[in-house]
Every structure is written in structure tokens, then in C-alpha cells.
Homo-oligomer: A and B are copies of this chain.
């Protein structure tokens, strides 16, 4: 099979590919929102239907929900153990290339919530093309990048008269934005059904426009909530101010003790397991086309950057643990004034982890530290919402070499190796449970507004991504 034929097919059908993607983007598959449950399933079915249409086999939805179970309690009434309500996985395969490697294509069809809605220039679930970009929630994270896989497979199928140059399994999940519990359990318990030689994940970004990039490291994370309780009920700040504990003040005091003014995390022993990147890796990063002042002004837009002194921006965002607060629900948040001392308030706090930290140990250190600094008059609960391992991928294997060759053909440039500051927990699961490396070949751009209003995907990159994946799969099967 000639990869050029498949690339030609992809080019001829490029406009149709975009229109199909728009259909998928119109489905508000927000995995964290219980009211969008049906939409999430609709997105799964949409992907499954397309995988069937292009010629993949054994296509099916795999439920990740578990049922309630009745548990007997000695000397007491039976108790109902709650089940888990999960979003389905989508599975497909084509395994008719004996002797060839098997590639596991991974993607996710769920998206982040779109709020704050009023900052979008076009509605988040009405995909809109402007200036060569496609704007929508999920455009790049990850529906658009997942769709590249599907369309690369379609193009290869068309060029190969219904055959592929390699064996392929596809696994798509609908819970990436809420911790990926369902796929993690499936990989752990049914790993043999995903047996492969390498995984392909396109959920990362290029370091710069036109610069082919492979991501070879990711931060892990723990996402937590600290709930502080003071009085038993909401109180009037006039009558009780000066005697009743204030949960927001308590949370502020706690948060101010979690991270110092320079961004260094103050949790004892939190940095013990942090491995610095090698000198070679740090040297390569320093050669990347990165202009700190441009990044500050155009990407972040703050008056100055923050973070630990003595580390470059790339090291701070790729290879250092960090701590952020995402929201502080509770109390009065409407317009105007309400003089309430709320009975409780919560802070949503996450930490990014780097090799060789583990979520388990990091959470334990954090929890015991927070519990040791509870402000006067308050009680608190520290909850782990979800977590993921940090990972590094070796660059020394045939699949990575094939990826650099494929992208060289498409972009005419050498590939750069970077890390990502975000977390893709499934990549750690593939290493640990399946024993396979992952090629992280992503085509997002740094200004794509992931998880923020006005998320976009550059359509040129969408098409170059399909071509790169076509050529990579052909090389892996050569």
C-alpha cells in the first residue's frame, strides 16, 4: 500500500472530514455535568457509528457503570453498596495484518464545561470557522485530534481497498476530563483486550506553529477539595462577627500556607521525590524557540509571570510540581451585598506532579499537612477527587523514530522533543498495565485555549495531523 494514495484521499475529502467533526462538536458531551449524561452517550455512539462505517470491526460501546450490590452486615440489616455511574468506552479493531505490529489508538470524546459562557465570541457548541481555525469546546481537546485518527484510518482503508498496513485497536473514553476512572479500571482488569505494541495519543500540542513535536513526558496530578466548616448554620456577620469562625478566612489562611509568595509549595517533604531533567534535556529545551516576554504578553497576559525562582518557564511548567486553586464555592456570590458568615466553604485545589512523585504519597503528605494547620474554630475534610501518575517516555525506539520520519515528510523539519505540563493519566496506565510505550503526536497550538473560552483547532494542523498519522501507520507497518 502506498501512503501517498491515502494522503491524496485525505486531501480530496478534507472538507467533508471537517463537516463531520463539526457534527461531533455540536454534541455537548460535558462529562462532569450529570445533566449531560445523554449527550455524552450520544457522542460515544456518533464515534462508534463512524468507526463501523469506515470498515473497523467488532465496534462496540463498553459500559463502565457498575451496579448497586446488596452487602450483608453481620448483626444488622443488609446495606446497599452504591454503584458507579460511568460514561461508556468505544472500542473498535482491525487485526488482519498478520506479522505486523498492533497500534492502539486512544482518544476521548468528552469535553470540559464551557463556562464562563459570556466570554465566548461564538457559542461553544456551535462550531464556527474564523481565520483558518475551528472554534468550539472540544475542537482540539480532544474531539478534533481524535477525529484525525479516525480519518487517517478511513484514508488508509480507502487506499488499501479495505485493509490497513498494521493491526489497529481503537479505544475512546468519555471520562478524560473527570479522571478517567472507567478506562483505568478497564485497562487494569481487561488489559488483554487491548494488547498492542504501541499506543498513539493525540492530545498534546506542537511547540510552535509548523514545528513537529513529540511529547515525551507529562505531569501527573491530584485534584482535591478542602471543605471547611465553622458554625452549624449561616450567621449574620453583624451579630456574630468577632465570635464565629469564618470558613473563607480559614481557607485563605490554609491556602496562604500551602504555597509561598514565590510559588514554592510549603507541604513538608513534597519535593523529596522530584527528579530534575537531565542536563541534555534541559539544554535541548533552552534551544527551543521560546521567548519568555512574548509568552508572558500574548499567552498569559499577566503583568509578570509567577513561579519558583531559579527555574526556567519550561522547567516550571513541565518538570516542577505546582499548586493551583480553581474555585471556592460557598457563601454569597451574587451581585450586591449579603452579610453572611457561611457555615461552610470549599476550595478546589490541585497539584501537578512530576517523576518520581506518586499521587498516593503526594496526597497523603498534603492531607496530613492541611489537617495540621486547621484554623481555630473550624473543622475540615480533605477529599481526593481524582489523580494521575506523572510519566516520561523513552525516545529510543522504532515507533518514535517512525513518528519523526512521518512528520519530517509532512512538515519538512526535524521533530523536537518536549514535555507537557498537563496530565494524561491513561499514558501511565498503558506503561504500567500493558507494558507499551506511547507516541504522543499532537497537533494543538499553544494558544488553542484548552479548558477556556474560545477553544479552537487550527484547520491546517487538523489536515497535517491526518497526513502525519497516515504516514506513521504506514511506516510502522512497512
Contact = CB atoms under 8 A, between A and B. Distances in A.
A460 interface: no
Interface stretch (A161-169, A194-202, A371-379): A371-379
A332 interface: yes
Given A178-B337, A332-B348, A451-B339, A325 B421 contact: no
Interface stretch (A65-73, A92-100, A255-263): A255-263
Nearest to A450: B236
Contacts of A308: 242
Interface stretch (A81-89, A243-251, A397-405, A470-478): A243-251
A37 interface: no
B112 A338 contact: yes
A120 B433 CA distance: 49
Interface string A312-347: 010011001011111111111111111111100101
A249 B324 contact: yes
Interface stretch (A123-131, A149-157, A272-280, A296-304): A296-304
Contacts of A323: 241, 249
Given A234-B116, A306-B245, A338 B317 contact: no
A217 interface: no
A327 B331 contact: yes
A232 B231 CA distance: 37
Contacts of A237: 322, 324, 326, 350, 352
Given A245-B302, A255-B256, A327-B332, 12 more contacts: A179-B337, A233-B449, A233-B452, A235-B451, A244-B306, A248-B325, A252-B254, A302-B378, A304-B377, A324-B341, A326-B342, A328-B345
10 contacts: A32-B336, A33-B336, A115-B332, A238-B352, A242-B322, A326-B332, A326-B341, A326-B342, A339-B422, A340-B451
Interface of A: 32-34, 112-113, 115-116, 119, 177-179, 219, 221, 223, 230-246, 248-249, 251-257, 259, 261-263, 295, 299-308, 313, 316-317, 320, 322-342, 345, 347-348, 350, 352, 375-379, 385-386, 420-423, 446, 449-454
